[in-house]
Chain A
């Protein structure tokens, strides 16, 4: 029943925080590896050595992007697994030192649900509140830290509203109070959009996913500082020095590294372009009546995410109306919108009740053009008054 896949020139994809289009050079490299250089990196013969080279080279590229050592990069199946290893593996490796974990109320479910699991296992978790812009207060973090705090997990850029947390300041604070406390950063939305240097920012663990940066789905990595104690959560053949058993996803890993290479090329000018796109969009939609932009403005926010509340239009309807115009967006956060539920992040930043079910997330990529933004703003200007007219009574 599947429709034929076609690349429609009129497709305006503004859901890049959900996932991004894979770069053609990434797909080409992966196809080559799957069909030609398909060896298992653990095999002793030439095919294996060849495959291992891809893994090593990829590690080199990724390590460079963060200015860390190659041995500090662990390949995983994506953001969720990276978060799980960081939290579960970090908590269990250090539980003798204490049982207290700190995180925030606006984390991705991959962190929140893992914390809920750890609570069941006897760990204690503190959830830091955020202000109306979706940012934590360092004083709250300072107060929450105890002698028993073994792990702090804070996301860099929020996936629903694009708020940026003061990671460097938090890192300094944590290490000043307890040098042994591990600091995990979920950088899934920020890697490739902001410069991140774990050593300077006192980050011990950092989660990244490939498909958010024009790489393939099903692959990601976790940076683990050589000083950090983390236990594996997957056991088996002992690949990746026993930290994560399972044959390496060679095409995925090589594809991810290729994407990193591309994204990091002229990163600053790409980020500036994203900010320009974002500003243009915000200026455009702000002219429409009954519209509210959630979270921070300008450089205080991530360059690629805008959360917009539209009075009197349910987000699901808005989303499908835009879809009809070839524009793809998310209602709240795509990761939690299979089941229409009210977003915890929007609640945490105090979005009023009438807006909770009327919020749309637009997220841009380095391929988003000004024409696409203007077209989207125009469509919204036409659609919103019409959609407001037809409502439940």
Chain B
């Protein structure tokens, strides 16, 4: 079957009232961004509350579907067959042939749902439903009609041309990127943070990212790994601005001045502070982390409270109630898992104490942080000034 067009279904946008056109325009932009990776020329159009992707010439069907599945806001992708209007009899023949090819096994129930956008068509919707239904029943003796819960809902749209479709491929859902402001993701090389970025991006949020490197304790390959992860996430989220912060001196200073079992917590407080400074400067409305309650010592409720203490902007933690296995499943689905498990050391683990505190006392932490008074401002300033900024986008 040759599909020349796709009808794009979207759900939540439909109820966004007067902002609806904004959401639809963003969705069209994101669809165009995804289609740039595909061979062929495409036309993305809004018409009468629907979005169509029309292929102009040859293209790779699987490639297009794969890429449309990365667009947040899309709930369904319907491959459409288009017929020229050459009379109703010809239409019946075409539809019979369509059903024959798409559903080799005829032991199914169906329902025809016609829609007449071109009102001068000689038959009305009810007539089309009935007569096409009859033609199909006659052509395929095993096929049955079920108007309540059909296996196949056969849509026929009478426009300039006649669109026929029945297959709906699930999209990722969510809202189109760019409809909900920007967030700053604390991205490490692990499994969780790319998933957290993906989940917030899914709600239409544009993503920036901050990565803390610690040369010579972490290698250039670790940084490359994070860039690779950001690139995979950008397939869904659109371009990501990645800020790479050299964290070594801050880390060593904390190591020298504070108790070792509090090292991770204090370090994370400084990561949050730095991320927040970057977020404010770039107009982000919140921080995003991959934390999940109790996963490691620094993610107990006490530890989260201690790190959250330094934040003035909201911190979004989309994985907070998820189990590791659930997170792994999403990372496999979005294709970050393989990269995440590459064995490069991460700055959070290099000096980790054998027995880090799991129930830090906020007051004690604050007092110990005072030991850093002398140089920490200057070190943070230097880290911010020497940041490396990389624009990451998915290209083929």
Contacts and interface: CB of A to CB of B under 8 A. Distances in A.
Interface of A: 1, 316-324, 339-340, 390-393
B216 A324 contact: yes
Q: Which 5 A-B pairs have the closest CB atoms?
A: A320-B216, A321-B216, A393-B260, A324-B216, A393-B353
19 contacts: A1-B390, A316-B345, A317-B217, A318-B216, A319-B219, A320-B215, A320-B216, A320-B220, A322-B216, A323-B216, A324-B215, A324-B216, A340-B343, A392-B353, A392-B354, A393-B260, A393-B351, A393-B353, A393-B354
B298 to A, nearest CB: 16
A361 to B, nearest CB: 16
A320 B354 contact: no
Contacts of B170: none
A332 to B, nearest CB: 14
B350 interface: yes
Interface string B161-177: 00000000000000000
A336 B218 CA distance: 19
Contacts of B345: 316
B216 A317 contact: yes
Given A320-B217, A324-B215, A393-B260, 19 more contacts: A1-B390, A316-B219, A316-B345, A317-B216, A317-B217, A320-B215, A320-B216, A320-B220, A321-B216, A322-B216, A323-B216, A324-B216, A340-B343, A390-B255, A392-B350, A392-B352, A392-B353, A392-B354, A393-B353
Contacts of B220: 320
Nearest to B217: A317
Interface in B230-260: 252, 255, 260
Contacts of A319: 216, 219
Contacts of B227: 1
Contacts of B351: 390-393
A316 B352 CA distance: 17
A319 to B, nearest CB: 8
Interface of B: 215-220, 227, 252, 255, 260, 343, 345, 350-354, 390
A393 B216 CA distance: 18
Contacts of A393: 260, 351, 353-354
Contacts of B218: 320
Contacts of B216: 317-324
A320 B390 CA distance: 22
Nearest to A392: B351
B230 to A, nearest CB: 11
Contacts of B255: 390
Contacts of A318: 216
Contacts of A321: 216
Contacts of A1: 227, 390
Nearest to A325: B216
Nearest to B350: A392
A142 B352 CA distance: 51
Nearest to A387: B216
Contacts of A390: 252, 255, 351
Contacts of B352: 392
A318 B252 CA distance: 16
Contacts of A320: 215-220
Nearest to A320: B216
A316 B216 CA distance: 8
A1 B227 CA distance: 10
Nearest to B215: A320
A210 to B, nearest CB: 26
A278 B354 CA distance: 39
A29 B343 CA distance: 40
Nearest to B351: A392
B343 A339 contact: yes
A278 B252 CA distance: 34
A360 B320 CA distance: 42
Contacts of A317: 216-217
Nearest to B216: A320
A362 to B, nearest CB: 17
A60 to B, nearest CB: 42
Nearest to B342: A339
Q: Which of B217, B220, B252 has the most CB of A within 10 A?
A: B217
B356 to A, nearest CB: 10
Contacts of A339: 343
A390 B251 CA distance: 10
Contacts of A322: 216
